[in-house]
Structure 1
Amino acid sequence: MNQEQVKEKLLQLNRNVEDFSLLFSGKKSRKVNGLYKPDSREIIIHNRNFNDDNPLIYTAIHEFAHHIHFTGSPLPISSRAHTKEFWGIFHSLLFNAEEKGVYVNIFETNKEFIELTGEIKNNYLSKNGELLKDLGRLLIKAIKLCEEHSIIFNDYIDRGLKLSKATANTLIKIHTMDITPEVGFDNMKLLSRIKVRNEREEIEKAFIDGDTADMIEARLSKRSRPKNSIELLKNEKHRILRTIENLNKKLKIINEKINYLKT
């Protein structure tokens, strides 16, 4: 597969993107399989790292996700390129690539992976979710017991169970909201943050259908953002100004302490 063919496969996934170039370096790299140069809109693939087209396409999709993220974001992209938004874009592209036959997901086609994934999900992730959901039920019971004995529940959590308050509250919400253990505890935690039942059930179904946590996080983040780009940029500006103001206050206090200690 040559570089023109790889670029065309990427465009099959999303043609509504700013133009970019895709180049094979003709080299082998021990550090990375590919990279994206945002200033020049270039995807570089170290094609000699690969003996098979499928992992090469995977790398190309990864770098294509960087291009979409960088050129499509209304806000400046930070130096931390692998954000949740990026992973959401990347995973969505991979699902699209699988559906269109551009990329083959070994996790879904290799017998050993299929068996191992089934064992982990059914015997560990799901069962762990069930246990922790039931722990939420017991914590609700503990609340009532604390009330009967005029005990502060948080004190019982801290000293009796040595459990963090945040974890305890999450477990209680998971039980109260009746979140399915099928999605695993990490995703149950995410679902417990969604207060509106219909929205929560929609996201729960998305997890069951195969969406990743990063895809969900990116979707939720978009929902909470202003749709107007100017409004979004203004909000970001205010956030940065508040951060600068708070940092300047802290800096002033530190300088005052330094000057005091010098005297």
Structure 2
Amino acid sequence: MDNAKIKEILLDISPADIDFSVIQTGKESKRVNGFYKPDTHEIYIHNLNLKTDNMLIYTAIHEYTHHLITIEKQKTDPTYGNSCRVHTQEFWAKFGKLLAIAENKRYYKIGWEDNAELKELTEDIKTNYLAKNGELMQQFGKKLARAFDLCKQADIRYEDYVDRVLCLPRSTAKDIRKVSEIDVNPAIGFDNMKVVANIRKKDERAEVEKEFLNGGKSPSSVREMMKQKSSQQSGNDPKTKLEKEKSRLEKTIAQLTQRLEYVEESLANL
């Protein structure tokens, strides 16, 4: 697959406001399969690392995600991409969204269902490990809740019991108890159960649980969805944030200007 075809596919997956280049290096790399240059908007792919067009497209979409996020962030921060952390939750959520579009358009396929052994193993992991571990943690949480009650009745400090008897980090014990206090499907796995347990409203918990079960979204995608929804509800959208920052900066400038006038006046009187 040539560079022009890769670029055509990427633009069909999601258009970009700023042009970019795709360059296959014709090289192999032990460190990375590709990289993105934010200053020149160039996507480099070490194509000798990749055996199939499917894997080539996966890498191209990864680097294209950097391009799309970079040009969006640079609207308010021209230095974005030069030294900041780029593999953020927002990045992984965007990347997952683009992969889903690529799958729908038949440009990319993860293909795990086509491998009989992997398919069988996946069902085993989901049923006998993710779901069973979730159920076990729910039961564990109920045991910890009972231990809390017994400690209270016996005037024993529960935190000391957790720290030095169970040798369990307090935050872990708190998370385990929390997932046992709500109705959440253990099939989503313990880590995702913790995400659901931290949502206050029952209908929102059900919505997030559904995304984990049926949405085909990564944990990063679900967390980013929750973050954006929370920002919208609190009025903390990008425009509002910039307006608040503008107000703070104007106030700071006014205070500094007043201070500067005082310093200049003091110097003139010396």
Matches within 5 A, 1:137-152: 137-152=142-157
The equivalent residue for 2:262 is none
Name 2:72's counterpart in structure 1. Answer: 72
Note the 1:42-191 alignment, pairs <5 A.
Answer: 42-73=42-73, 76-77=80-81, 79-191=84-196
Say if 1:204 and 1:107 are closer, same or farther in 2 by CA, change over 3 A.
same
- Taking only aligned residues, the RMSD between alpha carbons, in angstroms, comes to 2.3
Q: CA deviation at 1:235?
A: 5.5
How many pairs are equivalent? 238
Q: Structure 2 vs 1, CA of residues 108 and 234 (structure 1 numbering), >3 Å: closer, same or farther?
A: farther
- TM-score with structure 1 length normalisation? 0.82
By how many angstroms is 1:82 displaced? 1.2
Structure 1 residue 125, shift from structure 2 partner: 1.4
1:124 partner SS:
helix
Cα–Cα, structure 1 residues 189 and 96, in superposed 2: closer, same or farther, change >3 Å?
A: same
Residue number in structure 2 paired with 1:227: 237
Evaluate the alpha carbon distance shift between residue 115 and residue 71 of structure 1 in structure 2; reply closer, same or farther with a 3 A threshold. Answer: same
Q: Structure 1 CA distance, aligned partners of 2:169 and 2:119?
A: 36
- In the other structure, the counterpart of 1:20 is 20
> Is residue 16–residue 68 contact of structure 2 (8 Å, CA) maintained in 1?
no
4+ runs deviating over 4 angstroms: 232-238
Q: 2: distance between equivalents of 1:213 and 1:236? A: 33
SS in 1 for 2:40: coil
Structure 1: 5+ residue runs without aligned partners?
Answer: 239-263
**Residue identity matched to 2:165:** G
The 1:133/1:22 distance shift into structure 2, 3 A limit, reads: same
State how far apart, in whole Å, the 1-side matches of 2:162 and 2:63 are: 46
Cα distance in 1, alignment partners of residues 68 and 113 from structure 2: 26
Give, in angstroms, the shift of residue 189 of structure 1: 1.6
Residues 233, 132 of structure 1: alpha-carbon distance in 2 compared, 3 angstrom cutoff? farther
Q: Highest CA radius of gyration, 1 or 2?
A: 2
Give the alignment of 1:204-219 within 5 angstroms: 204-209=209-214, 210-219=216-225
Cα offset, 1:180, TM superposition: 1.3
Cα distance in 2 for partners of 1:37, 1:69 equals 13
CA separation of 1:162 and 1:48: change in aligned 2, threshold 3 A: closer
Query: Taking every aligned residue pair, what percent have the same amino acid on both sides?
Result: 42
Query: Which amino acid letter does the alignment assign opposite residue 223 of structure 2?
Result: E
User: After alignment, is 33-42 or 8-17 more displaced?
Assistant: 8-17
What is the alpha-carbon distance in structure 1 between the residues aligned to residue 86 and residue 109 of structure 2? 25
Displacement after TM superposition at 1:230 (Å) = 5.7
Q: CA deviation at 1:217?
A: 1.9
Q: 1:142 to 1:232 in 2, by over 3 A?
A: farther
Indicate if the aligned counterparts of 1:146 and 1:152 stay in contact, CA closer than 8 A.
yes
What amino acid does structure 1 have at the position aligned with 2:103?
E
* 3-state SS of 2:181 partner: helix
Other-structure match for 1:241: none
- Which is further off, 61-70 or 222-231? 222-231
Q: 1:180 to 1:17 in 2, by over 3 A?
A: farther
- TM-score when scaled to structure 2? 0.80
Moved more, 13-22 or 32-41: 13-22
| Residues 1-37 of structure 1, C-alpha deviations (whole Å, 9 max, x = no match) | 2111111111222125432221222333333221111
Q: 1:34 aligns to what?
A: 34
